[in-house]
Amino acid sequence: MGTKSLQSTRYEVSGIDEAIEFCYARGWTDGLPVVPPTEARIQAMLDAAALEPEEEITFIEHRQVSVTAEKVAINAVMAGCKPEYMPVIVAAIEAIGDPRYSYHGPATSTGGAAVFMLVNGPIARQLDINCGDNLFGPGWRANATIGRAVRLVMRNVIGTLPGQLDRSTLGHAGKYTFCIAENEAESPWPPVHVERGFRPEQSTVTVLAALAPHQFYNQLSNTAEGILTTACAHMRISAGVRSRPQYVLVIAGEHMQVMAKDGWSKEDIRRFCFEHTQTSLAELKRIHVLPGPLTPEDETTTQSIVETPEDFIVVATGGRGGAFSAYIPGWGSKRTSQSVTKEIRLP
């Protein structure tokens, strides 16, 4: 690899300080300093994924933008990635270009969606992608920079700029980076990628247009039903605009152990949550989520926060200690944007 020259415009600067400020001046950063993308660093990224600079990774239909390997590599360097992270980033970019993800809606919405990324398979362990303590917090280079690289591609290649194409009213911190792994080693359940038809030895990344994680606490219950009753009460409140395409359920250490002891499968969890997140139309009208006057039928007519039990994506991950888990609402309503899983292809 590396036989073809890079096509991007070159700029001469006198040193690293000037290079960092130059990137700020050009609007190429997410607000944090970036690593200057030298030709050698860019080429190392391309070599790590066995890609030529001009290869198309995805095409964003609504923007009529071709996202090439060279552009992805540049932004991966800027994000602070190691070259070995490049195949994960490439798979994530392929996923957000998939029609099922429907890039234009979550990217431009006032609703503030970020790209949530879940990494499964051997590569998650090889790259030390955090699936334990401080799951959504700082401290892990892979989590921080892989997610950041995807957002920089969205900004610098696709043109998803805050206040312009990105019309988010509030946004959330996941728009900097939103990347985790599943704790497959300690999980009592099949991992997400296996549930979606991949082999355990394959590596994948799943993307979902998502709102911020919502943490819930239950130290009182020693049953799966008790813990999930708390989760469902929180999710019913969070539904907001009637329903969501999908929810991620993050089941962390202590709660995972309780559910495993009770013998609950991921299917059991999904079914329980679907049945117990039903809300009456009357309640939705009372809290001004649904329009129109109340009718007697509204008191007994219910709807769930998702369309099917399979729309709950159950992920075993997070710290071992503490009676906390979380849920992540997907962006939009019904089938506006779906999660997409892509294989991470290694050279």
pTM: 0.95
Shared-domain flag, residues 93 and 168 = yes
Residue 7 lies in a domain: no
Confirm whether 5 is domain-assigned. Answer: no
Is 8 part of any domain? no
Q: Which pLDDT value is given to residue 1?
A: 46
Would you state the pLDDT for residue 242?
60
Question: Does residue 240 carry a pLDDT above 90?
Answer: no
Asked whether residue 334 is domain-assigned, the answer is no
Q: How many domains does the chain have?
A: 2
Same domain membership, residue 131 and residue 195: yes
Q: Are residues 203 and 276 in the same domain?
A: no
Task: State whether 200 and 255 are in the same domain.
Answer: no
Between CA 118 and CA 206 the distance in angstroms is: 5
Nearest to 327 by CA among 93, 121, 111, 136: 136
Question: What does the alpha-carbon distance between residue 287 and residue 328 come to, in Å, rounded to a whole number?
Answer: 22
* Owner of token pair 């099949």: 190
How do residues 26-42 score in pLDDT, each as one tens digit?
Answer: 999 999 999 999 999 99
Is 38 a domain residue?
Answer: yes
User: With 70 as the cut, is the pLDDT of residue 270 above it?
Assistant: yes
Q: What is the 3-state secondary structure (H, E, C) of 56-84?
A: EEEEECCCCEEEEHHHHHHHHHHHCCCHH
Task: Enter the DSSP assignment of 158.
Answer: S
**Which single residue is written with the structure tokens 């359920």?**
249
Specify the 3-state DSSP secondary structure of 157. Answer: coil
The residue written with tokens 């503490």 in the block is 322
Q: Please state, in angstroms and rounded to a whole number, the distance separating the CA atoms of residues 174 and 154.
A: 14
Q: Are residues 221 and 268 in the same domain?
A: yes
Tell me: do 240 and 288 sit in the same domain.
Answer: yes
Q: Does residue 156 sit in the same domain as residue 219?
A: no
279 within domain boundaries: yes
Residue 2 placed within a domain: no
Provide, rounded to the nearest whole percent, the portion of the chain with pLDDT above 70.
98
Both 122 and 248 in one domain: the answer is no
Give just the sign of the alpha carbon dihedral 10, 14, 19, 23: negative
Q: How many residues does the chain have?
A: 347
Q: What is the rounded average pLDDT for all residues in the chain?
A: 94
Q: What is the pLDDT of residues 82-122, one digit of tens each?
A: 999 999 999 999 999 999 999 999 999 999 899 999 999 99
Pairing outcome for strands 114-120 and 179-181: parallel
Band (241; pLDDT cuts 50, 70, 90): low
Q: Indicate whether 319 and 204 sit together in one domain.
A: no
| Domain shared by 50 and 175, yes or no | yes
Averaged pLDDT for residues 51-70: 96
pLDDT on residue 120: 98
Assign 72 a pLDDT band (cuts: 50, 70, 90).
very high
Question: Do 282 and 244 lie in a common domain?
Answer: yes
In a shared domain, residues 292 and 161: no
pLDDT at 290 over 90: no
The parent domain of residue 164 ranges over: 13-211+339-347
Point out the least confidently predicted range of 44-48, 236-240, 341-345.
236-240
Q: Which residue carries 């690593």 as its tokens?
A: 35
Tell me the pLDDT tens digit for each residue of 145-194.
Answer: 999 999 999 999 999 999 999 999 999 999 999 999 999 999 999 999 99
Q: Rounded to an integer, what distance in angstroms lies between the CA atom of residue 69 and that of residue 200?
A: 27
Residue 6 belongs to some domain of the structure: no
